[in-house]
Amino acid sequence: MKKKLPFLLGVIVFCCVLVMAFAVLLGNPLVAWHNHQLRTALQSLPEGTVTLEEAVPFKWDVVYSFDPYTSREEMESVMHLKGDAIQAGVSEEQRSFVFTKGDKVVCSVYGAPQRLGYDLCAIPSYTVYRYSSAASQQGQDCFLQSGRNAKFAVSHEDGYVKLEYLADQSIQEDRKAAMQIFEYENLRLGITDVQEVRTETWTDDMGDSRERPVYVCEPDAVIMVLHADMDAGANYKDGLPHARWKIYLSASDGSWNARVSIVDDMSPLAITENTDGVGAEDEYILRFEMGEE
């Protein structure tokens, strides 16, 4: 047994060195493996239609598409996470695709379609409204959530497989065009059927004037929770995450009111004339109004 011990230790050390060398040369081993799996799976697709849920061979929550020259800092800001595997395209044809699962990057590639061997075209773009008391700005984010079963048309081009976005079965095209993203700190909500966004001024308990957005929505508008920004379970005795934000509902005559906790994986919630807004501790960070039909 004593003679075998040095040999076993040597094998362990050798394996550790191999893993470290692999990590230095190729980065995160899991991401590298998923990058390889993605290329193999997409290149083997026959022509026709497919969903990414069917095509992608590993578990994922969201896939992001970034234009060439988008910096790593911008990408991390959009995804609300950091990762050494995130890389930016540095020429006109080099787009970046990043798959995330929870708060981790599980696949990250960039390059021209001919180099990657595939292309994900026309991933839906949503208007993003980033709000804070200091400043607000609007932009466009291109992403798709797992579970939507959005269809892609598969065709074989010159040296690569092309997957072109066709439709999203959970949000129809006419509604998707009006969808906007509301962000506050790490809370991220998708709002469909928005007519306009305006800003209102209000006074807090300290007497300070502050601003918040008001979303004027059409009938059938819904709130979709993209990231609930829940408090960590370590802060509570039960060890479970707790909702940090709530959706406030009330009757116009004041006869009742309710608060719906915002949690991850919750179903879309309809916006009606009784939906007052989103906030915490009775202070709104976002308000809703119903517009004209």
Which pLDDT value is given to residue 135?
47
Q: Are strands 187-191 and 180-184 parallel, antiparallel or unpaired?
A: antiparallel
For the segment 196-203, the average pLDDT, to the nearest whole number, is 90
Residues in contact with 96: Cβ distance below 8 Å, sequence separation at least 6, in sequence order: 64, 65, 66, 70, 75, 86, 87, 88, 89, 108, 109, 110
Domain ranges of the chain: 28-123+143-167, 173-290
* Burial of 30 (C-beta count, 10 Å sphere; 0-12/13-18/19+): middle
Report field, pTM of the whole predicted structure over 0.75: no
The residue that leads in pLDDT, 86 or 28, is 86
pLDDT at 96 over 50: yes
Interval 210-253: pLDDT, tens: 899 999 998 888 898 888 998 886 676 777 888 899 999 887 77
CA distance 122 to 158: 18
* Burial of 293 (C-beta count, 10 Å sphere; 0-12/13-18/19+): exposed
The residue that leads in pLDDT, 267 or 152, is 152
* Burial of 41 (C-beta count, 10 Å sphere; 0-12/13-18/19+): middle
Residue 207's pLDDT band (cuts 50, 70, 90): confident
Which pLDDT value is given to residue 127?
60
CA distance 11 to 2: 15
Phi, psi torsion values for 118, nearest 5 degrees: -160, 170
For the segment 116-126, the average pLDDT, to the nearest whole number, is 87
Strand-pairing partners, residue 283, are: 280
- Percent of the chain at pLDDT > 90 equals 36
Interval 68-87: pLDDT, tens: 888 898 888 888 788 888 88
For the segment 116-120, the average pLDDT, to the nearest whole number, is 96
Residue 6's pLDDT band (cuts 50, 70, 90): low
